[in-house]
A and B are shown apart, each in its own frame.
Chain A
């Protein structure tokens, strides 16, 4: 397979892509929208304190405690509490011992277990600790020896909190990548529908060359846009290499899925009809990370989970190769599977 041939076809496809008003429009609009949203989002951290409480016996003072910037939710087991913290529903989980009232009355030392998520900032931990001390004081009328045992649960995330808008950068980049599923599959299905693929195949171009060219086009479009967005918003502060590699693997993933979609649809409209639900499903893991607690473990069967998770961990928490290599491997596996599957199905349509 010769490169000038591949290059000629890739150039043609990119030209056609940007000539297609619809795709040019949603691509540009996509980037612009995400950049706008990015700059509109608060640059500071959410101040509301959501605290989970498990208390077999509830001291009266804790019951009254609901108020400004603080919301306390009681749960019925320690496990529920821990889950809430891991999933990010609670910034912290507090467990009061069963014998708290007796101990307070007797002036004994009380041990309170407090769970924090690994990304809970230091000042927040202090705030929660102080709050418990304070409550105990009000309840018993004396400064008590409250032994607070802190436990960090969930992955160790260096304990730093990132402003929501920066937290969003990788997700926007991922959404941009996902959109390209449609761009690529429509380019291919137009080629099939217009029978131009047949014209290409009676030149020295081979079916494999055709796939290679389409693959390069898909990856270029998806990765290129993600890169552009990240460059504009400066989202490569941490682990840039991991993020770039992960986005590249993501671009390859959507290329494979684009191949599949192109062969699923008879024409452009049916490609769209298949493509939109596909994109929505692929976007689910991203929502799961952006809005913790909204989706459960089953998202791990969605290939894009490994894309989202890796980018999230390394962009927002500085995770390094040692922590995310498994994710990358799984993602690579999905890449290979989808690209091969896409080629097999699409090849049957082309020949």
Chain B
């Protein structure tokens, strides 16, 4: 049954007075990758914590894999993998020991730590203590640990944070492999390109509220603006730039006018990006 892996209804979490997650409702289909975007402090990590049973919802509910997470967290937790925002590994143990411990806690039979470590690019360093790892290596081990129990849902809170481009790309490959295997992925990231490339749908959260949730394509259609940028020679011989918004009724006329009346030096089209959309939706950038 290709149902919903996650159903959040009116989900709310407050830290004392502060409403971190404010009555949000959404669904994530099985096998889907949902990108979860928003500025710092928007409530992304808090949402992950509520969905994974680390925090109890104050209002509303979350049904994860058909189970109310507040009612039976262990049953859900046995089937999910969580990559935490902040590294929390046993520093005095090796990577291999870390993974083997969690394999035992999850009751995974015949667990192959070496193969999993190789997948995240840590082959050859299995026996080193985590305290001797670099930040990026620890981050990759965090991702590996989330995969130990072959989870049905992967919650990844900024999994590529602090990774070099090649390592980040490798982790993205792993995420896609997991989806291929049938896993659902709930992915939090500040990397707009990553969200765009990986996500089937993207949700924007701002001040605890989901402000948009759709496929990247639809969001761009709805909120983004594609544009043509041209450099033209000005009467005094210098360069000036012109911008024409695309996909509008007046676009064609504007383009004709540009070529008819100005000396165009260069021209290129600019695609709408998720970042533009976010600024558009929330009136602020992703980085404060």
Contacts and interface: CB of A to CB of B under 8 A. Distances in A.
Contacts of A5: 104-105, 107
Contacts of A12: 90, 93, 101
B201 interface: no
A8 B105 contact: yes
A203 B78 contact: yes
A132 to B, nearest CB: 67
Dominant secondary structure at the A interface: helix
A67 interface: no
Contact of B107 (A19, A199, A200, A204): A204
Interface in B53-87: 53-54, 74, 77-78, 80, 82, 84, 86
Given A198-B54, A198-B84, A8 B104 contact: yes
Contacts of B90: 12, 16, 194, 196
B77 A196 contact: no
A204 B104 contact: no
Given A203-B106, A204-B107, A196 B53 contact: no
Nearest to B103: A8
Interface in B102-117: 102, 104-107
B132 to A, nearest CB: 14
A69 to B, nearest CB: 57
Contacts of B105: 5, 8-9, 200, 203-205
Most chain A CB neighbours (cut-off 10 Å) among B88, B107, B149:
B88
Most chain A CB neighbours (cut-off 10 Å) among B84, B92, B101:
B101
Contact of A199 (B74, B84, B92, B104): B84
Nearest to A206: B74
Contacts of A199: 82, 84, 88-89, 102, 145
Contacts of A16: 90, 92-93
B80 A198 contact: no
Contacts of A4: 104, 107
Given A4-B104, A203-B106, A204-B106, A195 B80 contact: no
A202 B104 contact: no
Contacts of B104: 4-5, 8
Interface in A5-32: 5, 8-9, 12, 15-16, 19-20
B74 A20 contact: no
Contacts of B191: none
B79 to A, nearest CB: 10
A213 to B, nearest CB: 10
A61 interface: no
Interface string B246-258: 0000000000000
A201 interface: yes
Given A201-B54, A204-B105, A20 B80 contact: no
Interface residues of A, number: 22
B47 interface: no
Task: Sort chain B's interface into a size bin.
Answer: 20 to 34
B84 A203 contact: no
Most chain B CB neighbours (cut-off 10 Å) among A4, A194, A199, A204:
A199
Given A8-B101, A12-B101, A202-B52, A20 B92 contact: yes
B78 A204 contact: yes
Contact of B82 (A19, A202, A206): A202
A202 B91 contact: no
Contacts of A8: 101, 104-105
A321 to B, nearest CB: 41
Nearest to B75: A204
A16 B101 CA distance: 12
A2 B101 CA distance: 15
Given A4-B107, A194-B90, A203 B77 contact: yes
B107 A195 contact: no
B54 A202 contact: yes
Interface string B1-41: 00000000000000000000000000000000000000000
B166 to A, nearest CB: 27
Given A204-B77, A204-B106, A205-B105, A194 B53 contact: no
A196 B80 CA distance: 17
Nearest to B86: A195
A15 B104 CA distance: 15
Nearest to B82: A202
A16 B97 CA distance: 11
A305 B103 CA distance: 44
Contacts of B54: 198, 201-202
A221 B102 CA distance: 23
Contacts of A19: 92
Contact of B84 (A9, A15, A20, A195): A195
B34 to A, nearest CB: 19
A20 B92 CA distance: 8
A286 B12 CA distance: 54
A203 B107 CA distance: 10
Contact of B80 (A2, A9, A202, A205): A202
A12 B92 CA distance: 11
Contacts of A195: 84, 86, 88
30 contacts: A4-B107, A5-B107, A8-B101, A8-B104, A12-B90, A15-B93, A16-B90, A16-B92, A16-B93, A194-B88, A194-B89, A194-B91, A195-B84, A196-B88, A196-B89, A196-B90, A198-B54, A198-B88, A199-B84, A199-B88, A201-B54, A201-B77, A202-B53, A202-B80, A203-B77, A203-B102, A204-B105, A205-B74, A205-B105, A206-B74
Query: Which 8 pairs, one residue from A and one from B, show the smallest C-beta to C-beta distance?
Result: A195-B88, A8-B104, A203-B105, A204-B78, A202-B82, A204-B74, A202-B77, A199-B88
Given A202-B52, A206-B74, 8 more contacts: A2-B107, A5-B105, A8-B101, A9-B105, A12-B90, A196-B90, A198-B88, A204-B107
